[in-house]
Amino acid sequence: MRSSKQRDAVLKVLRESCDHPTADMIYERVKEIIPNISLGTVYRNLGQLKDEGLITIVESSDTKVHYEGNLTDHIHFLCKSCCEITDVFCTPTVPAALADLGLQVESQKTVYYGVCNTCRDNI
Amino acid sequence: MRSSKQRDAVLKVLRESCDHPTADMIYERVKEIIPNISLGTVYRNLGQLKDEGLITIVESSDTKVHYEGNLTDHIHFLCKSCCEITDVFCTPTVPAALADLGLQVESQKTVYYGVCNTCRDNI
DNA sequence: GTATTTGCAAACGTTTTGCGGCTAC
DNA sequence: GTAGCCGCAAAACGTTTGCAAATAC
């Protein structure tokens, strides 16, 4: 992967974003640095950065894909009403930490990542 | 919400699916019950069933939306390789339960649901 | 010099929507 | 009878891709 100012700008924007922006939100922000960047370039770079493990995708129930530039270990609080995701940095007892923030947990969903047995056998 | 055989069929298919099908997967399965159902109807009913809380959306990193008809409390194991989601029903120590299934956890992501402070103030 | 990246625009796949006819109640 | 639902098809939306020019090394 060669260096490019477009990719640097996309990564910089994502590192400085504490929300979980979609591709077009990132596009709008990157345009402030490189006004003539194209949306296709943003998508291509997001894909490459993801493949390199420099950014992650936030699992969402949205049609749009949400990106995350903060790789620090943390969990997400998702508002049922506005769907906004609040980052919560890990503490021994997460629900207690959320309660301190005034956030009342109604339900939770946990996703564990790894390689399933079928795939492991095929590699 | 009035009853309709189309919506009943969509719900039945989802209740009997242990994978986490997308709208067009559901469409294909419902067509076996109601051959002339249209894709638009499937989408409309999925939206209504979701609004009624009878089904949920699986948070995914996909462009397509995945649906879930199993409302029993459980967590998801997502394969990094094939992206397939395995349901794991709750046990006191989840990673141990996964180890018993031969699934090695590399990382995890937890999402808590509720209503954020801003939304609570606006209601 | 060449392999990678870019901007642009067209193509693609998923989801939503408008419409006239049908159905449940 | 009428409000809600349907099938159909077109539109809308997010994302991907092909191409010729520009760029990094």
Q: pLDDT digits over B53-111, tens only?
A: 999 999 887 889 999 999 887 888 877 667 777 887 866 677 777 788 788 777 777 77
Cβ count within 10 A of residue B101:
12
- The full length of chain A comes to 123
Residue A121 has which token pair? 């056998």
CA–CA gap between residue B105 and residue A52 (Å, rounded) = 20
Q: Does domain A75-121 have CATH number 3.10.580.10?
A: no
Query: Using CB atoms within 10 A of its CB, is residue A52 exposed (0-12), middle (13-18) or buried (19+)?
Result: exposed
* Nearest in space to A59 (alpha carbons), one of A112, A114, A8, A98: A112
Architecture of domain A5-68: Orthogonal Bundle (1.10)
Nearest residue of A to residue B108 by CA position?
A112
User: Which of B108, B112, B119, B122 has the highest number of chain A CBs within 10 A, making it the mutation to test binding with A?
Assistant: B112
- The answer to whether the C-beta of B109 is closer than 7 A to strand D is no
Q: What is the pLDDT of residues B1-20, one digit of tens each?
A: 899 999 999 999 999 998 99
User: Which residues of chain B are within 8 Å of residue A107 when distances are taken between CB atoms?
Assistant: 112-114
Segments making up each domain of chain A, as ranges:
5-68, 75-121
B114:A105 CB<8 A: yes
Cα Rg, chain A, nearest whole Å = 17
Do A75-121 and A5-68 fall under one CATH topology? Answer: no
Q: What is the DSSP letter of B35?
A: T
**Tally of helices (H runs) and strands (E runs) in chain B:** 5, 5
A65:B65 CB<8 A: no
pTM of the model: 0.85
- The answer to whether the C-beta of A45 is closer than 7 A to strand D is no
Query: Residue-wise pLDDT tens for chain A (123 aa)?
Result: 899 999 999 999 999 998 999 999 999 999 999 999 999 999 999 999 999 999 999 988 889 999 999 988 788 887 766 777 888 787 667 777 778 878 877 777 777 777 777 777 765
User: Which residues of chain A are within 8 Å of residue B114 when distances are taken between CB atoms?
Assistant: 77, 79-80, 98, 103-107
Nearest residue of B to residue A50 by CA position?
B61
